[in-house]
Structure 1
């Protein structure tokens, strides 16, 4: 198969054009500064600067330049965040070394309701290409969103459930072509408002072939060369929405969406997944319903999900279904004795089933109910935030013992104003998590990770104590955000590889008997600790007062170190992001804006038990956008993006299949975007 790798000359042109046009702050007329962006994942409606808990946000021009096909790819180079690569089809975020059932991915405040947490080869059914804002709550978010968010929350917001009327037509149209995987993309986000009515329509269609890689897919030279075989991916996603916004500000919204995706599993020659989700969402927002309440927000979502894993065309392997309903209510109360806060409840019912050769988890019915509150109080230079949550989780498998858990979580934090523009944040959290169904009941072969997984229905609640200290400074041309964090966990659940007693991996066959195909792993519990830091700083070399050329520079570094405290001694936690540092330039000149960024990931020479070390890599990206037509609130622009311009062999330590599947090599994207 021929290679579509970018030749050397265009790489230089991309870099030079970006450097020549890298001339501005990240504030366009469409993008608000981070300090002014309301975090919708917080029921209190605060900005990132006002919250005690650490939050990062992508929106506006910055989000447009970083959007990729998967939510993990979109966020992969943000401080404290990485992704678990599994080819082009599936990429789930990793936050500070936590992933899977510890990181919840939300669409407008409600879970994705898919099976992406079950296995790294399962895609997240949330489309970042139509996102208006992506919010990342780092560290435990269990108070607001339950035990599945003990490692963090990612909330993707769009315009499907509107709470305000925007008169006339508004939205965006986009079309692009990418050289690396010969990807063709078309996306539309259209809204129409009139009187008390707001209508919404969005559609995305993406087609890509096997993507280009810089050399051989496998580190031992046994894989495909030049292109990653069986890495093609197709996506169709769309939604209809309607909102009625009363004259008093009350809003009632409904939407229906469908997500269809087909993608190859590159560790197999012909195996691929076909998935479909039909989702229905409703929301009611009542403003000042009583003298004591500022607002009441009620959300209800229902999902019908299924995917089929094909061993080859027309050869069905395993079918997964996940029918789920979630409801959530949040009531924000007025100031009571200096306290302002939210009281809420969340309910969920889930029916999961798998049938076929890789049905390694039995059909399981789950029920979850939780009550929570979060309060804040300002006094002097301090802003105290505290809260708690109690929930009850019942797991009833078709085969195995029924279990129920009552996780209780609590936190307290303080933001202390060192000055008008400088804040010190300290947060203490006790978080509890109920085991996931695969951790309790798995018993069978899992080809995606080349493992034979055995769960334990005797697992207990996972508990952790987290502390974070951070400082931020925003003044004039200079911004700084820095934090250090530590997690001490008890009954930490992880998959432990078994060995034969001589330090060699114990391999079994599909039937669990001794063989040479699958690594035998068991879900066990031990103590664990995770420690790390994040630092990001930016400086406006030229701003709007200096003339038409605007230029800012930004740098970041992050690291996390995880240790499992086992009976046989301390051992590194598996699949952790290595330390990284990076720098970027962003700028504006008249109708042109551009970015160039470089991220250096260091070697991961502290792999988990029976895992492999990972070489570091350098990732150079650049993009250029030029407005070619503007009329009133409408504008048309053309853009060019270059990714992995150094054509480095990128293998992320967070990936189960890093030794056989690298990230895409050098590529370019050209496209047009029309906003109105």
Structure 2
């Protein structure tokens, strides 16, 4: 198996992906699309966690965040099975950019933990998590990293066959659910047509003790159609995709009232590349996308006698967004220090958020515009030394409205009403990054990166001002927030090939004006006038604030080939990660931080079979923020067995059995607002079949 910094995950990989010899198993090379340099070699030291199609298919997760939850350095919000957003080293929401093939998600998932990411794992060929210099290519909203879902909805190269595709289906005992997907491509001359569809139907999932976690059902479907013309000097293509989902919100009153969210998204996208073949410019690329998104939150309500009334729509969110970028890569040229290669670009993003019904009080309509220019350069100092540098300058305009809240976020009058006033904020975040790579003996690589990144606050952080039913919170923004700035450093050491393979990274980040969202200890009803100290109200009050903070931690993972058993190779694996986050001057801990985690596994892989047994222990999380409770640790045991049959003519059939949480442990996620009310899934078995032609 080949590991690229940070990780390629291979809990279950089709045997066709492996080239076996007597010593080890090596994955074929794959382009690092995170790199702004076309043709970048697999040795790139860009910090990238890469999750391939096989482990994505094997996962019982029903959302993008949950697919990545147990990888070193990664976690998920796990608010609901249909709504779980990725967390990177303790950072989430507006610090983690989620995108598909370079296009922003165009959703509302960062505006509330109950909002789904409209990118289903079944539509992904692989997922990249990007940090370091290359993340500046995507904007300061990626201050914590970028999660890029990659598929071929806009083909950029001619396939090796006239017709090719894949069909897969799975059943999950824990949710009594089915899911399936199909993808195909057809070539006619220089034209390539791509199509894909997917769907899932899950009931409430099981939890330890033979129970079900109420209101956790998910129904999702979607698909895309794309077409490209591909020539000798580039390509141009377009696609239209659709995503719909209906999912429940578990825990507390949301489960009692049967709260559900129905969402849909439609995206038009176009991409292209032109390679002149001569002159100073190697290639010019463009991205242009338009997305319409909407969701409605539905559920009952309590009547005066305490019973639950009829279901109705409480309100919802709308987002119309544009996402465009033009990027040029210059030809490599010699300098007195070595060969210089790089790219530069311009980008524009616009989000128009509109709320309806009760959510007009939670977040009034707002508009965000971002203009940016960036540059990324790589200098090859010698055969063993490389230097990377990136810089980005943004212009951010945010227009909306909010109310003026009194000190302490409590009403000064029992009949006090909030009155909106228009607000407009402008920011100019500037960021830069440096990275250094050194090839070492024994096929190792050492890397070091340093970044200074500024981030403008989001509309929700500035203008939130009311109750949010599904999340059970009364959110209070701060329109006076200034830019957030982070100075961070990372050291890494890796070995990608050989019998012993590993990757380890240590990081430290110092935040000037870290924007946080924390429980205040107050609670509220629907109106601000009802807010009072204590927990007697329907909604927990949370407020945005700003305070200096520091984050530091470690991600590490390793594999060792042990022996040949039969026609395959057996080995062991290990992993460890943690993140520590605290406010400056002894002001306490940052809220909702994942715990220390330690894991180990054994595996055996051959040309037709692969099997693994993995164990992960999460320690107690006792370093909590104000008004948070501690979270007990847990143990996860997983088993995977897969078989690949070669059918001839490039066709294969893959079958797998995947067992998750086999110890039936009580699992609570310290990073979730719902962790005291909601257990994560218990013991489950997933049966998976995939046919490739």
TM-score norm. by structure 2 comes to 0.88
Q: In the alignment, which residue of structure 1 is the partner of 2:215?
A: 230
Q: Which one of 126, 135, 138 corresponds to residue 133 of structure 1?
A: 126
Q: SS in structure 2 opposite 1:541?
A: strand
Q: In the alignment, which residue of structure 2 is the partner of 1:124?
A: 117
Distance apart, 1:510 and its partner CA: 1.7
Change (3 A) 1:60 1:277: closer
Checking the alignment, whether the CA contact within 8 Å between 1:142 and 1:389 is kept in structure 2 is: no
Q: SS in structure 2 opposite 1:73?
A: helix
Between 354-363 and 261-270, the greater mean CA deviation after superposition? 354-363
Distance apart, 1:471 and its partner CA: 0.9
Q: Which one of 323, 327, 333 corresponds to residue 330 of structure 1?
A: 327
Q: SS in structure 2 opposite 1:192?
A: strand
Distance apart, 1:475 and its partner CA: 4.2
Distance apart, 1:285 and its partner CA: 1.3
Q: SS in structure 1 opposite 2:275?
A: strand
Distance apart, 1:653 and its partner CA: 0.6
For 2:400 and 2:91, how far apart are their aligned partners in 1? 26
Checking the alignment, whether the CA contact within 8 Å between 2:15 and 2:606 is kept in structure 1 is: no
Q: In the alignment, which residue of structure 2 is the partner of 1:9?
A: none
Distance apart, 1:585 and its partner CA: 2.8
For 1:560 and 1:244, how far apart are their aligned partners in 2? 46
Q: In the alignment, which residue of structure 1 is the partner of 2:455?
A: 433
Q: Which one of 649, 653, 674 corresponds to residue 632 of structure 1?
A: 649
Q: In the alignment, which residue of structure 2 is the partner of 1:460?
A: 482
Between 608-617 and 329-338, the greater mean CA deviation after superposition? 329-338
| 1:621 and 2:638 matched | yes
Q: Residue deviations 1:418-443, cap 9 Å, x none? A: 23611111111000101011110000
Q: Which one of 17, 20, 24 corresponds to residue 30 of structure 1?
A: 17
For 1:60 and 1:259, how far apart are their aligned partners in 2? 20
Q: In the alignment, which residue of structure 2 is the partner of 1:220?
A: none
Distance apart, 1:314 and its partner CA: 4.9
Checking the alignment, whether the CA contact within 8 Å between 2:638 and 2:659 is kept in structure 1 is: yes
Q: In the alignment, which residue of structure 1 is the partner of 2:571?
A: 552
Q: In the alignment, which residue of structure 2 is the partner of 1:371?
A: 373
Distance apart, 1:472 and its partner CA: 1.1
Between 74-83 and 187-196, the greater mean CA deviation after superposition? 187-196
Q: In the alignment, which residue of structure 2 is the partner of 1:8?
A: none
Checking the alignment, whether the CA contact within 8 Å between 2:436 and 2:448 is kept in structure 1 is: yes
Q: SS in structure 1 opposite 2:359?
A: coil
For 2:58 and 2:178, how far apart are their aligned partners in 1? 17
Checking the alignment, whether the CA contact within 8 Å between 1:349 and 1:365 is kept in structure 2 is: yes
Change (3 A) 1:523 1:349: same
Checking the alignment, whether the CA contact within 8 Å between 1:405 and 1:461 is kept in structure 2 is: yes
For 1:121 and 1:465, how far apart are their aligned partners in 2? 31
Q: SS in structure 2 opposite 1:621?
A: strand
| 1:564 and 2:583 matched | yes
Checking the alignment, whether the CA contact within 8 Å between 2:12 and 2:611 is kept in structure 1 is: no
Alignment of 1:581-620 (within 5 A): 581-620=598-637
Checking the alignment, whether the CA contact within 8 Å between 2:233 and 2:276 is kept in structure 1 is: no
For 2:670 and 2:97, how far apart are their aligned partners in 1? 21
Checking the alignment, whether the CA contact within 8 Å between 2:199 and 2:220 is kept in structure 1 is: yes
Distance apart, 1:289 and its partner CA: 5.5
Gaps of 5+ in 1: 1-22, 216-224, 499-504
- Coordinate RMSD, CA, aligned: 2.0
Checking the alignment, whether the CA contact within 8 Å between 1:48 and 1:56 is kept in structure 2 is: no
Q: Residue deviations 1:277-307, cap 9 Å, x none? A: 0011111111236521221111111100000
Change (3 A) 1:61 1:520: closer
Distance apart, 1:383 and its partner CA: 0.4
Q: Which one of 159, 184, 199 corresponds to residue 190 of structure 1?
A: 184
Q: Which one of 177, 180, 200 corresponds to residue 171 of structure 2?
A: 177
For 2:133 and 2:467, how far apart are their aligned partners in 1? 31
Distance apart, 1:46 and its partner CA: 6.2
For 2:275 and 2:87, how far apart are their aligned partners in 1? 36
Alignment of 1:32-47 (within 5 A): 33=26, 36-45=29-38
Change (3 A) 1:140 1:496: farther
Q: Residue deviations 1:627-667, cap 9 Å, x none? A: 24512211112221111111111101111100111111111
For 2:53 and 2:224, how far apart are their aligned partners in 1? 21
For 1:61 and 1:235, how far apart are their aligned partners in 2? 20
Q: In the alignment, which residue of structure 2 is the partner of 1:508?
A: 524
For 1:590 and 1:59, how far apart are their aligned partners in 2? 18
Change (3 A) 1:594 1:42: same
Change (3 A) 1:562 1:140: farther
Q: Residue deviations 1:592-651, cap 9 Å, x none? A: 222221111110011111111101011111222222451221111222111111111110
Q: In the alignment, which residue of structure 1 is the partner of 2:224?
A: 239
Q: In the alignment, which residue of structure 2 is the partner of 1:207?
A: 201
For 2:651 and 2:266, how far apart are their aligned partners in 1? 33
Change (3 A) 1:141 1:458: farther
Q: SS in structure 2 opposite 1:231?
A: coil
Change (3 A) 1:619 1:48: farther
Q: In the alignment, which residue of structure 2 is the partner of 1:400?
A: 422
| 1:659 and 2:641 matched | no
For 1:672 and 1:326, how far apart are their aligned partners in 2? 37
Number of positions where the alignment pairs a residue of Structure 1 with one of Structure 2: 634
Q: In the alignment, which residue of structure 1 is the partner of 2:386?
A: 383
Change (3 A) 1:183 1:31: farther
Q: Which one of 269, 272, 276 corresponds to residue 281 of structure 1?
A: 269
Q: SS in structure 2 opposite 1:400?
A: strand
Q: In the alignment, which residue of structure 1 is the partner of 2:237?
A: 253
Checking the alignment, whether the CA contact within 8 Å between 2:297 and 2:470 is kept in structure 1 is: no
Q: SS in structure 1 opposite 2:626?
A: coil
For 2:686 and 2:142, how far apart are their aligned partners in 1? 34
Gaps of 5+ in 2: 1-9, 20-25, 301-309, 402-420
For 1:448 and 1:55, how far apart are their aligned partners in 2? 34
Checking the alignment, whether the CA contact within 8 Å between 1:25 and 1:551 is kept in structure 2 is: no
Q: In the alignment, which residue of structure 1 is the partner of 2:246?
A: 262
Checking the alignment, whether the CA contact within 8 Å between 1:324 and 1:349 is kept in structure 2 is: yes
Alignment of 1:56-95 (within 5 A): 56-66=49-59, 68-95=61-88
Q: Residue deviations 1:212-246, cap 9 Å, x none? A: 1114xxxxxxxxx7001111000011111111111
Q: In the alignment, which residue of structure 2 is the partner of 1:20?
A: none
Distance apart, 1:318 and its partner CA: 1.4
Between 62-71 and 383-392, the greater mean CA deviation after superposition? 62-71
Change (3 A) 1:400 1:564: farther
Checking the alignment, whether the CA contact within 8 Å between 1:31 and 1:61 is kept in structure 2 is: no
TM-score norm. by structure 1 comes to 0.90
For 2:429 and 2:289, how far apart are their aligned partners in 1? 23
Q: In the alignment, which residue of structure 2 is the partner of 1:534?
A: 555
Q: Residue deviations 1:345-380, cap 9 Å, x none? A: 110111101112233111001111110001001112
